[in-house]
Chain A
C-alpha cells in the first residue's frame, strides 16, 4: 500500500474540529449547536485513528470506540433536553434560556 502523509490526516481533523467550533460559537439554534458538537467529537475520533495508523497500534481505535460511546450518550441526553426545552418555550433559540434562575 502506498504511504499517506500522516500530518495531512491530522490537519483534516483540525479543520473539521474548527468547523464544529465555529458552528458552536455562531449558531443560536440548539439543534445546530448539538450537530456542531458531533462534528467536533468526530474530528477528535479522526485524530485518534490517524494516530493509531501512525504508530501501527490499535489503542487509538479503542479510544475512538470510547468517543463513539460518549457521542451516543451525549446525543441521547442532548436531544432529551431539546425536547424538554421545546415543550416549555416552543422555540429552539438558546437565548430564551438566559432568563433561567437557579
Chain B
C-alpha cells in the first residue's frame, strides 16, 4: 500500500511537471489526465474510494474531454507550438520559479515538524452520502446552484 502511494505520487509529480513545460496543448492534456489518474490512485490508497472514482470519472473523464473538445474546435496548429517555444525562455520563468520554491521549502519545513502516521480508515459511499444529505444538505444545494450558473454562463459565453 505504502509503495503504491509513493509510486503514484511520483507519477503525479512527473506528469504535472510535464504539463507545465509542454508546448503542445494536446500532449499537455494527456499528461494532465495521467496526473489526475495518479491522484485518484492516491485517494484510493488513503481510504477514499468514492473520491477516487469521482476523480477518475469527473476530472479525468468529463472535464478533460471538455478541454479536448475545445482544443479540437480551436484547432491550434504548429504556429501556436512555435510561439509557445519562443515564450518559454528561461529568463521568464526562473525568477518566479525560484521565489515560489522558497515558499515551498518553508511550507515543507512546517509540515515535516508534525509527524503523524495515518492508518487509513476507509470511508465508504454509504457514510459519505448520509453526511451529504444530512448536515451538508445546504452545501449540496449551493453546489447545484453553482453548476446551474456555470451552465448558463458557458452557454451565453460560447454563443456566437
Contact = CB atoms under 8 A, between A and B. Distances in A.
Interface of A: 1-12, 14-16, 18-23, 25-29, 31-32, 34-36, 38-39, 42, 45-46, 49-50, 52-54, 56-59, 61-62, 64-66, 68-77, 79-84, 86-87, 92-93
A10 B109 CA distance: 12
Contact of B97 (A26, A29, A39, A87): A26
Given A39-B35, A68-B54, A15 B104 contact: yes
A22 B96 contact: yes
B24 to A, nearest CB: 10
5 contacts: A6-B116, A57-B123, A62-B132, A62-B139, A84-B157
Nearest to A59: B131
A73 B118 contact: no
Contacts, number: 232
Contact of A53 (B20, B103, B115, B118): B118
B51 interface: yes
B79 to A, nearest CB: 10
A64 B52 CA distance: 10
A57 B127 CA distance: 10
Interface residues of B, number: 84
A10 B5 CA distance: 12
B59 A73 contact: no
B114 A7 contact: yes
Contacts of B80: 29, 92
A56 B71 CA distance: 40
A53 B74 contact: no
Given A1-B120, A42-B36, A77-B153, A11 B108 contact: yes
Interface string B98-110: 0011011001100
B13 A12 contact: yes
Given A4-B1, A11-B111, A83 B74 contact: yes
B19 A14 contact: no
Given A28-B87, A54-B118, A79-B154, A42 B59 contact: yes
A32 B12 contact: no
B143 A66 contact: yes
A39 B32 contact: yes
